[in-house]
A and B are shown apart, each in its own frame.
Chain A
Amino acid sequence: MLEVLVDPFAEFGFMRRALVGCIAVSVGATPVGVFLMLRRMSLTGDAMAHAILPGAAVGFLVSGLSLGAMTIGGLIAGMAVALLAGFVTRATALREDASLAAFYLISLALGVLIVSTRGSNVDLMHVLFGTVLALDDNALILLCTIASVSLLTLAVFFRPLVLECADPQFLRSISGLSAITHFVFLTLVVLNLVAGFHALGTLMAVGIMILPAAAARFWTTGIGGLLIAAALIAVISSVAGLLLSYYFSLPSGPAIILVAGVFYTLSLLLGPVGSLAASSRRGPSLQT
């Protein structure tokens, strides 16, 4: 049994690299996902992923398959959308969801336009659906750096972030940190999506960010528990997804996200906190 789990990683360097990359993304992105969920911004992650895609595409068109150019392009596009949306929200009557949607759609359309006018070289969707099996040294260093920076920043901003989740009005009334916290947090979202995009592709990167967080919600209520449970679920999903891809010839990225999806579904049905099972246990007592 143990051999089944260990052998692929022992025999093949590319499996070890994929594992390291996935763990880095899991550890870095899931805490961000937990805060996104707690702040009811889960779909913001999705919007930001779309906003990154054109930036990375432009980076690719300018200097080919370069890790640096695609990372910087993605960061610039993502940050521009996040900052503009944040600014519009704070300065005008438009709510955050609407302004974010507006800016990411503009960014997406701009990216598609640029790509089309430059003609189709190596099909861009292939490049943008990063493959976790082809992580080179530079990509791994980038993923681990982003995960470390993300964790350290979260540690520094942990209190204001939790406060902002629980009672944003209160935080705004006692401290000027509210706006800074918000922008730092959005930066982390963009950073982690860019990291995830190198390993899993832009769309799958949102999956590893949000699904474990949503699954963890059915197991515990404390913020510490949520963070640990989510990271754990993400890491287990990564390992299981890679092994499934290895033994059953499945594409790796979708396999990983689908395992996370299975975790979510099981948690939704059976988890001890607020799941279907939990509410049906409570159900009869409410009726009487």
Chain B
Amino acid sequence: MIIRRTLLASISALAAIGLTCGMATAADDKKLAVVATFSILGDMVGSIGGDHIKLTTLVGPNGDAHVYQPVPADARAVSEADLLVVNGLAFEGWLDRLVDASGFSGMRLVATDGIEPLPFEEEGDHDDEKHGDDHADHKDDDHAGHKDDDHAEHKDDDHGHKDDDHAEHKDDDHAGHKDDDHHGHDHGAFDPHAWQSIEAAMVYIDNITAALSKADPAHASSYYQNRAAYVAELTALETELRTMFDALPEDARTVVTPHDAFGYFADAYGLKFLAPQGISTESEASAADVAKLIRQIRAEGIKGVFVENVADSRLLEQIANETGAVIGGSLYSDALSESDGPASTYLDMMRHNARTLAQALSS
């Protein structure tokens, strides 16, 4: 009897604590509570939201969002969020369970909404400079203006350009892929690493701005101001990267990385990326993959071998050893560095990756 009474008492005490906690946080801040799934998205959301939002990032710097294990604090953050920003394209495989378990009832934004996703590809062999020039046309009028019209425009022409060669891919490449491809087993049909293209990052930013303004109309003008500044920086960076990579000779555009995270980057700047590990860091390389890669490095005289902040580098070091290729540096693929690192923001990350690549390839 005493035991039962104690139990009851402690349960009600717990409930009371829970209630007061809930009330305290609700009263504490009137700011919009936003949860971003990983560091790169978090940086983008923070750049637009500024001081008007309370931002929580689930997978922190140098964390691998492919295989993340959520902790209870994450579920709490999600349950209290007004807006949840996810990458989509099956990047965060653990997210749905977390959202279900947390009882999240806010707005959910898929940041990749409206981009043209790349299908999975083994080689990433986009042979061309295809939208080199049309992009240049766009920059002037495109990103200076306001969101409504230029977003539509963006979609129509910028991406319309890709449509035909994508249709091709989907027919043969992609269909053939599913059968023999042992990589990316529990991912969707598309490459999720879209933020590696600045063009796609513009779409991310537009989506984030629109969602923030909708969830918090009072500060919409501030969000759009931040967006304009951020887009200007993105545009400048895009010009910088384009000049950097246009200068590279045609035969020095292939590099090796641990996992296939740079499909969009390759597509945008006419590079070719090879990887032993496939699209997710979850898969394990087989001897056949490694052997194929080594043959290719030898045959094509590939100079640039890079390691990533979120992937195991030991295999790549062995491959570099065996082929005489040099490890050209560390790339930031799926996560930012710590704040004192070389890639603590999205813009810094893109700049760091581009410089590291260009330097190794042009030497």
Contact = CB atoms under 8 A, between A and B. Distances in A.
B294 A14 contact: yes
B286 interface: yes
B284 A121 contact: no
Interface in A36-51: none
Given A122-B310, A131-B315, A15 B287 contact: yes
Given A13-B321, A120-B69, A121-B62, A247 B288 contact: yes
Interface in B293-344: 294, 309-315, 317-319, 321-322
A122 B311 contact: yes
A247 B66 CA distance: 28
A55 B259 CA distance: 28
Contacts of B59: 120
A141 to B, nearest CB: 15
Contact of A123 (B281, B286, B289): B281
Contacts of A245: 286-288
Given A120-B63, A125-B67, A251 B318 contact: no
A9 to B, nearest CB: 10
Interface in A233-260: 242, 245-253
A55 to B, nearest CB: 19
B60 interface: yes
A57 to B, nearest CB: 14
A119 interface: yes
A56 interface: no
Nearest to B292: A249
B290 interface: yes
A122 B312 contact: yes
B17 to A, nearest CB: 23
Interface stretch (A132-140, A185-193, A263-271): A132-140
B97 to A, nearest CB: 17
A235 B291 CA distance: 22
Query: What secondary structure prevails in chain B residues at the interface with A?
Result: loop
A126 interface: yes
Contacts of A123: 64, 66-67, 281, 310
A14 B322 contact: yes
Contacts of A173: none
A250 B286 contact: yes
B318 A14 contact: yes
Contacts, number: 96
B71 A122 contact: no
Interface string B9-31: 00000000000000000000000
B145 to A, nearest CB: 41
B284 A242 contact: no
Contact-residue bracket for chain A: 20 to 34
B291 A246 contact: yes
A119 B60 contact: yes
B40 to A, nearest CB: 16
A246 B286 CA distance: 7
A211 B285 CA distance: 24
Interface in A126-169: 126-127, 129, 131, 133-136
Interface string A44-85: 000000000000000000000100000000000000000000
B182 interface: yes
B286 A249 contact: yes
B72 to A, nearest CB: 11
Contacts of B319: 14
A249 B291 CA distance: 10
Given A120-B63, A250-B286, A17 B69 contact: no
B288 A246 contact: yes
A8 interface: yes
A249 B67 contact: no
A257 to B, nearest CB: 13
A214 to B, nearest CB: 25
A133 B281 contact: no
A18 interface: yes
A249 B182 contact: yes
Contact of B64 (A11, A17, A120, A129): A120
A133 B64 contact: no
A226 to B, nearest CB: 31
Contacts of A133: 285, 287, 290, 315, 318
Nearest to A67: B314
A15 B291 contact: yes
A121 B63 contact: yes
B318 A136 contact: yes
Given A122-B312, A127-B312, A251-B285, A134 B64 contact: no
Interface string A199-239: 00000000000000000000000000000000000000000
A116 interface: yes
A122 B62 contact: yes
Interface string B263-301: 000000000000000000100111111110010000000
Interface string B59-79: 110111011110100000000
23 contacts: A11-B291, A13-B321, A14-B290, A14-B294, A14-B322, A65-B312, A120-B59, A120-B63, A122-B64, A127-B312, A129-B284, A131-B285, A131-B312, A131-B314, A134-B315, A136-B317, A136-B318, A246-B288, A249-B182, A249-B286, A249-B289, A252-B284, A252-B287
Given A125-B67, A249-B286, 4 more contacts: A14-B290, A122-B312, A133-B285, A250-B288
Interface of A: 8, 11-15, 17-18, 65, 116, 119-123, 125-127, 129, 131, 133-136, 242, 245-253
